[in-house]
Chain A
């Protein structure tokens, strides 16, 4: 499936490991969360190229001890109205400071692309239904955000109050 990163189509370097596949002597693999501990047990600590696929109904705190050894986390959207992975992404990126790739998979729409980016997702497995331009133009369809600490990709945030927008009188507090 096509992958979008940085508003461009890129080659997918990762292989998603199925339940029965062996993880030995592989790299650039994404393993199901259920197999993560087992795979990590045999994974050399110097070795990179491991990722995990996380269902959207699990507590991402489970990942916390393993994040330093992971290069990619994939999150799932079983339907575009199911917004759990927005919070999973935010927790992994912002609370846990994960610096690797967070990839969205499943069913979501270009109209959600901006919110996905702002929540910390930076890689997108998409269907061929919409052309790249359709995704890209939605990145900043609303080119401003009130959520200063979610702003990505040059979105505008409000100038600070002392930059000249503040009226003179204050009677509150």
Chain B
């Protein structure tokens, strides 16, 4: 393209009210930092304040987690994230599993300036940490996916506003995460969230929500239970309020590791918990239901579909390229997804190069994706749950140019949804909680499967790595999960198999004794080779595991010991 134009994507935009709100919160945080630095408040008192603004104290430096509400951002915002990476970090950012970005080398004194810079482009770090309601996450393909009922993002934004600096729910027993899907194919992991919402249509075609509560990972992984099959959309915020109130009042506070809502649901029993919520829901006045509906209509108008063109679904030059170029064919197969509109395709930029650090992005890569978004996807970008970026609305006829430009940036590894698309926590290299390193293990496995042809032969396979039992790498829901533990000063890695965060969610089961850091990549390779040997025609890894159980994998790994 000759001239670079920055389009305004159809996403929520601040009005004066939102702007004043965020500006005031930044000023408040600046004041809190100043009072911490001059000693008027203690570190213990400051800690929840800074956490509620996304500021962690890590092993080597402060980490600032910036909210990308439900993973949607404009190219303009992405460019500012790149500027922040250059000016305040070391030229990097890191996409998180909850669709945010974190910067790992931040100075406390500079955080308020960063927040000001973010506020310029309607961004913030509000509630990206702390014992409050966190960023609401959703399907990275929202508004574009061929299989969705409707775009869930207006409801995400409604929840973002409702949960922002909530006077009643900012000092909860523990952190609280909500995920939403508008598609029956769950790409938002709603069954492993504190609250999961699944869009449903009733017989009359009215939209409502299935409400799931009590999923989660961490030390005690659990799959959420349904407390309501169908909740009318108008009742959503009052119902969420009822859940939050029950949790805030009787969720455990005696033990940090028993404080998530999943423990409350488990200890009370799902039926008793649901009954308590229903009672609270029935008792509390609902004077704002009418207002909520108007708000949702107002918010929804921002998410109007972009100006899609009427295009042919069949593009001869793309079909020719597929036949001629195996690399392009592989990339199309793994890194793109079906769009709801003919002639458009959903494109993923893979931040999982062979041997790389999963989810790490350079400022140059951020700017390149922002520029691609401007030229090819209405100026809009998504962060995915799997730590990649998505261009949701690419014309199919532009796919070759987009692929080539992604390749130049190292973002076209054809591995999305395959074993190379590893989700990993930062592990002992950055994190103060970790008991083992995760990144070097991810890198070694990624190198081991660097052959894209082999990855495609293996097929859909989610591999997740956590460096401690807090499970930030979501190993419990990896088809193959790896958990790093410390055993007498040595790193050991346990393998779990059979986890899933999709609509058929399940928690992986530990296979057997762990492996040393020098053995773990071999062990993973053995698991994969075993699958290749025993799978039936067309059967994916998870299906094979569910059909045969752990036995063949155990046999292959432990038989000789």
Chain A residues near B165 (CB, 8 Å)?
115, 142, 145-146
Pair B162/A172 contact, Cβ less than 8 Å: no
Q: Report A124-163 CB contacts with B as 1/0, cut-off 8 Å.
A: 0000000000000000011111111110000011111110
Pair B172/A83 contact, Cβ less than 8 Å: yes
Pair A94/B284 contact, Cβ less than 8 Å: yes
B291 beta carbon closer than 8 Å to chain A: yes
Pair A86/B297 contact, Cβ less than 8 Å: no
A169 beta carbon closer than 8 Å to chain B: yes
Chain A residues near B294 (CB, 8 Å)?
160-162
A14 beta carbon closer than 8 Å to chain B: no
Separation of A166 and B298 alpha carbons in the complex (Å) = 6
Separation of A165 and B168 alpha carbons in the complex (Å) = 28
Pair B167/A111 contact, Cβ less than 8 Å: no
Separation of A81 and B49 alpha carbons in the complex (Å) = 10
Stretch among B15-23, B413-421, B526-534 lining the A interface: B15-23
Separation of A146 and B165 alpha carbons in the complex (Å) = 8
A76 beta carbon closer than 8 Å to chain B: no
Cβ-defined partner of A165 (8 Å) among B27, B41, B164, B298: B298
Q: Report B286-328 CB contacts with A as 1/0, cut-off 8 Å.
A: 0110010011111011111100000000000000000000000
Please report the total number of A residues contacting B with Cβ < 8 Å. 47
Chain A residues near B303 (CB, 8 Å)?
171-172
A51 beta carbon closer than 8 Å to chain B: no
Please report the total number of B residues contacting A with Cβ < 8 Å. 51
Minimum CB distance partner of A118 in chain B: B167
Cβ-defined partner of A84 (8 Å) among B41, B249, B295: B249
Pair A83/B300 contact, Cβ less than 8 Å: no
Chain B residues near A80 (CB, 8 Å)?
45, 48, 171
Q: Report B235-271 CB contacts with A as 1/0, cut-off 8 Å.
A: 0000000000100110001000000000000000000
Separation of A80 and B161 alpha carbons in the complex (Å) = 24
Q: DSSP class of A's interface residues: helix, strand, loop or mixed?
A: loop
Chain A residues near B171 (CB, 8 Å)?
80-83, 86, 112
Minimum CB distance partner of A130 in chain B: B40
Separation of A168 and B207 alpha carbons in the complex (Å) = 23
Chain B residues near A144 (CB, 8 Å)?
17, 20-21, 24
A170 beta carbon closer than 8 Å to chain B: yes
Pair B304/A170 contact, Cβ less than 8 Å: yes
A23 beta carbon closer than 8 Å to chain B: no
Q: Report A44-64 CB contacts with B as 1/0, cut-off 8 Å.
A: 000000000000000100000
Minimum CB distance partner of B161 in chain A: A146
Pair B24/A142 contact, Cβ less than 8 Å: yes
B353 beta carbon closer than 8 Å to chain A: no
Separation of A107 and B167 alpha carbons in the complex (Å) = 17
Chain A residues near B207 (CB, 8 Å)?
173
Chain B residues near A114 (CB, 8 Å)?
167
Given the known inter-chain contacts A81-B171, A109-B45, please indicate yes or no for A90 contacting B304, CB distance below 8 A: no
Pair A171/B300 contact, Cβ less than 8 Å: yes
Pair B291/A165 contact, Cβ less than 8 Å: no
B285 beta carbon closer than 8 Å to chain A: yes
Q: DSSP class of B's interface residues: helix, strand, loop or mixed?
A: helix
A95 beta carbon closer than 8 Å to chain B: yes
A65 beta carbon closer than 8 Å to chain B: no
* Cβ < 8 Å to A, chain B residues 24-42: 24-25, 27-28, 31-32, 41
Separation of A115 and B166 alpha carbons in the complex (Å) = 8
Given the known inter-chain contacts A81-B131, A166-B298, please indicate yes or no for A94 contacting B285, CB distance below 8 A: yes
Pair A149/B25 contact, Cβ less than 8 Å: no
Pair B162/A119 contact, Cβ less than 8 Å: no
Cβ-defined partner of A156 (8 Å) among B20, B27, B45: B20
Chain A residues near B32 (CB, 8 Å)?
111
A87 beta carbon closer than 8 Å to chain B: yes
Output the least CB separation between A167 and chain B (Å).
Answer: 5
Cβ-defined partner of B249 (8 Å) among A88, A149, A172: A88
Given the known inter-chain contacts A146-B21, A147-B167, A148-B288, please indicate yes or no for A171 contacting B304, CB distance below 8 A: yes
Pair A81/B48 contact, Cβ less than 8 Å: yes
Minimum CB distance partner of B163 in chain A: A146
Pair A115/B170 contact, Cβ less than 8 Å: yes
Output the least CB separation between A68 and chain B (Å).
Answer: 17
Q: Report B148-180 CB contacts with A as 1/0, cut-off 8 Å.
A: 001100100000011011111111100000000
A27 beta carbon closer than 8 Å to chain B: no
Separation of A159 and B15 alpha carbons in the complex (Å) = 10
Separation of A87 and B288 alpha carbons in the complex (Å) = 18
Query: Most A CB atoms within 10 A — which of B151, B169, B296?
Result: B169
B203 beta carbon closer than 8 Å to chain A: no
Pair A83/B245 contact, Cβ less than 8 Å: no
Chain B residues near A59 (CB, 8 Å)?
249
Output the least CB separation between B518 and chain A (Å).
Answer: 43
B283 beta carbon closer than 8 Å to chain A: yes
Residues of chain A having any CB pair with chain B under 8 Å: 59, 80-84, 86-88, 90-91, 94-95, 109, 111-112, 114-116, 118-119, 141-150, 156-162, 165-173
